[in-house]
């Protein structure tokens, strides 16, 4: 798995100020994930600057960094991280959809519907998890809102997190 620097930069740049604003992320799982991601991104940048992206020396320098990122998240981050609660069922569902498609039990449309269903379930899991943890931390209270136009059937549960001082 070769991860994109643009993904790191965009996720880190967009999410970090949000979590700093609230002081701590739900269950500290997301904050820990971002810290593991920052270490990986720092390693990527250092190898790129020292050796130039894509060279053999770059790959030697970068070798093992993604494995360390995965180890960091799996072992160092709390088990109540929403990613750890919601991603495993999604992966299991994805593999089930894939197996059904490869065996011929699903056609292409059935496969797309299957993937969309498990993805919607994951979105609902993550949103519920974050809201529950934010409320448990006293960071904010989640209130249901109407989904954006056109996404009503994709993800019927949307909520806004309102901080106590707002």
More confident residue, 89 or 20: 89
Token pair for residue 79? 């088990």
Q: Is residue 72 domain-shared with residue 107, that is, in the same domain? A: no
Decide: pTM greater than 0.75: no
Q: Is residue 4 domain-shared with residue 74, that is, in the same domain? A: yes
Q: Is residue 74 domain-shared with residue 37, that is, in the same domain? A: yes
Q: Is residue 93 domain-shared with residue 27, that is, in the same domain? A: no
User: What pLDDT sits at residue 153?
Assistant: 64
Task: Single out the residue in 53, 78, 103 at which a domain terminates.
Answer: 78
Give the pLDDT confidence of 28-43 residue by residue, as tens digits: 677 788 889 999 999 9
Q: Is residue 63 domain-shared with residue 32, that is, in the same domain? A: yes
Q: Is residue 10 domain-shared with residue 91, that is, in the same domain? A: no
d(CA 53, CA 56): 9
Q: Is residue 74 domain-shared with residue 2, that is, in the same domain? A: yes
Task: Single out the residue in 57, 78, 99 at which a domain terminates.
Answer: 78
Q: Is residue 149 domain-shared with residue 95, that is, in the same domain? A: yes
Task: Single out the residue in 78, 104, 138 at which a domain terminates.
Answer: 78
User: What pLDDT sits at residue 68?
Assistant: 95
More confident residue, 59 or 8: 59
Q: Is residue 71 domain-shared with residue 87, that is, in the same domain? A: no
More confident residue, 137 or 120: 120
Q: Is residue 93 domain-shared with residue 138, that is, in the same domain? A: yes
Lookup result for tokens 């979590």 = 19
Domain count within the chain: 2
Domain that holds residue 30: 1-78
Q: Is residue 74 domain-shared with residue 96, that is, in the same domain? A: no
Q: What is the mean pLDDT of residues 87-99?
A: 93
Q: Is residue 87 domain-shared with residue 42, that is, in the same domain? A: no
Give the pLDDT confidence of 49-88 residue by residue, as tens digits: 999 999 999 999 999 999 999 899 888 888 878 878 888 8
């Amino acid at each position: 798995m070769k991860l994109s620097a643009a993904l790191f930069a965009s996720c880190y740049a967009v999410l970090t100020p949000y979590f700093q604003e609230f002081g701590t992320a739900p269950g500290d799982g997301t904050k820990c994930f971002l810290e593991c991601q920052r270490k990986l991104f720092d390693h990527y940048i250092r190898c790129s600057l020292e050796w130039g992206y894509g060279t053999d020396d770059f790959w030697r320098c970068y070798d093992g960094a993604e494995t360390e990122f995965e180890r960091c998240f799996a072992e160092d981050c709390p088990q109540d991280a929403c990613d750890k609660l919601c991603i495993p069922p999604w992966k299991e569902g994805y593999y089930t959809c894939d197996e059904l498609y490869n065996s011929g039990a699903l056609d292409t449309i059935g496969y797309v519907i299957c993937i969309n269903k498990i993805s919607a379930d994951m979105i609902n899991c993550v949103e519920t998890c974050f809201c529950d943890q934010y409320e448990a931390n006293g960071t904010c209270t989640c209130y249901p809102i109407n989904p954006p136009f056109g996404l009503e059937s994709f993800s019927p549960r949307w909520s806004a997190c309102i901080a106590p001082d707002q």
